Amino acid sequence: MVDIWIIVLTAFLLALLIAWSAYAVSSTVIHPRNLRKPVTVFPDQLHLVHENVTFRTADGIKLSGWFIPAPENSGKTIIVLPGRGQNRGEILASTHFLRRFGFNLLYFDFRGAGDSGGTTSSIGYLELRDFDAAFEFLKRNKEEESRNIGVYGLSMGGAVALYETANRPEIKCVAAEAAFESFNSIVARYAWVNKKTPYFPVVQLGLMLIRLRLDVDPEPFSPLYHIAKISPRPIFFIAGSHDAIMPVKEVERLFSNARHPKEMWVVQGAAHGKCAEVGGEEYKQRLSAFFSKNL
């Protein structure tokens, strides 16, 4: 009889541990700790003329950003999307060079990051609403400057960029660096890379809890299911050869599912989010050439 109770208690504790781990996975996605970092890089420090802008999402979140005009009047604007845990100042430092090539630049913090409102994240699904608000802000307030719109996104921002380009014919071209193909796959990879959390049953249950807590399944909004619709508009994929978060093989799967015109560049030696740093001048040349040709 004692043995039975030991088995029952062990099973109960194991089930409780699995449930708690799964809840931790869902909470890390939806209410991540330490995701918000203060903005420490500003256009003034880089001697860039800029306008502080704010706009609200459809669900009422106030987002903060900058509109940086090109040196001369331009009808070409690039929306620049940071990665998860990154704010607009961080991505400004590695992309503001695009302004020199005649592009206006719109930067903003996703919800729950930088100076924007909100505490809930979703690695892409809720952030689509943030992009929608930014896009509508441009169309309403910068009509002449945004006659031609391109998008650049890093990591989560890259996934948002691909989905939005696929579903907004007005966007002329898109560059995506270290973009994930699937919401489910990136949650599983984050869980494994950060805490060696197994997919079955912990992450699997965590994904179920995410769907319950968001009241939606984010997976159908993943780039993999929409990327073919971008053609005939051009896509530029960038990947780092040493990226553990977004391995080259995953970017290659996105590339293979995209239709032409498309191109891909693997930056040798670059880890996640480090392609600009490692790529240096070649990074600037390739990215500016892509937008100059296609925007």
What is the residue-averaged pLDDT of the chain? 93
- 132 — pLDDT class (breaks 50, 70, 90): very high
With cut-offs at 50, 70 and 90, classify the pLDDT of residue 124: very high
Percent of residues, the chain, with pLDDT higher than 90: 80
CB 188 within 8 A of CB 199: yes
Task: Tell me the pLDDT tens digit for each residue of 147-159.
Answer: 999 999 999 999 9
User: Buried b / exposed e across 101-140, counting CB within 10 Å, b at 16+?
Assistant: bbbbbbbbbbbbbbbbebeebbbbbbbbbbbebbbebbee
Mean pLDDT in residue range 259-286: 98
Q: Full-prediction pTM beyond 0.75?
A: yes
Confidence of residue 35 (pLDDT cuts 50, 70, 90): confident
pLDDT at 164 over 80: yes
In this predicted structure, the answer to whether residue 13 has a pLDDT above a threshold of 60 is no
Condensed to tens digits (0 to 9), the pLDDT of residues 252-264 reads 999 999 999 999 9
Which stretch of 5-14, 40-49, 67-76 has the lowest confidence by average pLDDT? 5-14
Interhelix angle 183-195/2-30, nearest 10 degrees: 110
| 66-84 mean pLDDT | 97
